[in-house]
Amino acid sequence: MTITSDPAGVPARPGFFDGLFARGSVAGGGAVADDTAWLRSMLAVEAGLARALERAGVAPAGAGAAVTGAARAGDFGPADLAELGRATVLTGNPVPGLARVLTRRVADPAARSAVHQGATSQDIMDTAAMLLARDALDAAVADLTAAAGAAARLADAHRGTLMIGRTLLQQAVPTTFGVVAAGWLAGLDSAVEGLAFVRDTRLAVQYGGAAGTLASLGGDGDRVKALLAQELGLADPPLPWHTERLRIIDVGAVSARACAALSKIARDVTLLAQTEVGEVAEGSGDGGGAAGAPRRGGSSAMPNKSNPVAAVAVLGCAKQAPGLLATLLASAEQEYQRAAGAWHAEWQPYSHLLQLTVSAAAWGRDLLANLNVDKGRMAANLAAAGGLPLAERVTALLRGSLGAPAAHDLVAVAAARSASSGVPFRDVLLATPEIEDKLAAAGITAAQVEQALDPSGYLGDSDAFITAALAAHRAG
């Protein structure tokens, strides 16, 4: 365990990548799931345990307050932290050293017996992991909820903002930016729902003692477990879950889901913000404006560049999530009553996944709150397609008169000629004699063709879908 902070719990120096991958912060301050947060959470568990033991009549009166008063992370000085680091190497986890230092710091000798009583190292580490998750999921939910609010505003404001839809990265049929933003909104709402469900139902205290029986507490173990859960505001599980790791996986899975929802949005933005597309652009956000200061989105080599930094940062966080979740899944196979290595393998990927999820959520909030939409560029790109995105609608117009195969073939010929010649699709349909003759024979007028080529009339249930997504968002 390496504590990279001063005794007050303030990082001694920011890391090069902290602004990108440790952007979010937990409620109440402090970094997410770093060494300082682990220390704070483990001490909170030890203090809660002492209070629970006192309430159960197992520890002497006043023990809870005495241990709680000594269990302040900010009071641990450099010598204490160095001792924890050395002890971690010797014992394979930081808890034995922590219990030793904490016991020494409790002023009342009678109260010292309440430190770590009945517990094993995994009890403290696993319960601390649940506290870390609660803080991280709270922070992620807050930022994702704000991001969803921004997506909802975009969806409503751009109900009628026409743009080209794209499938397999190729132009497809018209859509609206409102539908695109509504799709983002639905993903964010689902991510929030998943995070909140795990936060509210799956975070449970761990207290089982040496091998999950709490034998050292005689018949008081289950009662102390329940009181510890009350003290920490966590669920009281039916029994210890030392080698049943689905709670850890649940935290990881909903974190990865949130990263996936954000990643989809960020990838769309990077594509729509390409110079040749130019339909959206990131707002200035933070970081820029002062003379001589770095400009957000700037390049070290190309002064003209304005890179989509928030979207890129979301993707940088999110792309690490699948591998971290895979490690948690692989570590779930644990032997007997205590795993030899698999439990230890969880700590870093679990911490990193929480950090990255909170960071991605903070970046996603920034991205959507400051997104600029270029309606004119969207209209121009749609118009530049020369009507070809409406080929499906023209085919439907002709199908009743010509039959499906003939209608498809006729429109395919016209579309191919338009694409190869650069002549607008409308002109090919209405000015090519053999096609014109077939349209006339089918009773299709020029006015009907013109109407079929109007993208605003080929949006299906887009507006209804936006309304439904907004209603679901408000109901959530």
Are 394 and 410 in contact by the 8 Å Cβ rule? The answer is no
Phi-psi region of 386 (alpha: psi -120 to 50; beta: other; left: phi over 0): left
Q: Where are the beta strands (DSSP E) in 297-376?
A: 371-373
- Residues 83, 103: Cα–Cα separation, whole Å: 14
With H, G, I as helix, E, B as strand and everything else as coil, classify residue 425: helix
- Residues 308, 284: Cα–Cα separation, whole Å: 10
- Residues 141, 27: Cα–Cα separation, whole Å: 11
Are 317 and 259 in contact by the 8 Å Cβ rule? The answer is yes
Max distance between CA atoms of the chain, in angstroms, equals: 103
With H, G, I as helix, E, B as strand and everything else as coil, classify residue 350: helix
With H, G, I as helix, E, B as strand and everything else as coil, classify residue 371: strand
Residue 281: C-alpha distances to residues 150, 285, 323, 375 (Å): 15, 11, 30, 11
Set 86, 216, 284, 299: catalytic member: 299
Based on C-alpha coordinates, what's the Rg of the chain?
30
User: Catalytic site residue 284?
Assistant: no
Locate all alpha helices (DSSP H) within 385-461, ordered by sequence: 391-402, 404-421, 425-431, 433-441, 446-452
Consecutive H or E run containing 173: strand 170-176
User: Catalytic site residue 190?
Assistant: no
Are 24 and 107 in contact by the 8 Å Cβ rule? The answer is no
CB proximity list for 471: less than 8 A, separation 6 or greater: none
Are 426 and 450 in contact by the 8 Å Cβ rule? The answer is yes
How far separated are the first and last CA of the chain, in Å rounded? 40
Other CB atoms within a 10 A radius of the CB of residue 191 amount to 28
- Residues 74, 8: Cα–Cα separation, whole Å: 4
Set 338, 377, 399, 417: catalytic member: 338
Are 98 and 84 in contact by the 8 Å Cβ rule? The answer is yes
Other CB atoms within a 10 A radius of the CB of residue 74 amount to 14
Cα torsion at 441, 445, 448, 454 (round to 10°)? 110
Residue with tokens 């795990």: 198
Positive or negative CA dihedral for 456, 462, 467, 469? Answer: negative
Catalytic positions, written as ranges: 299, 338
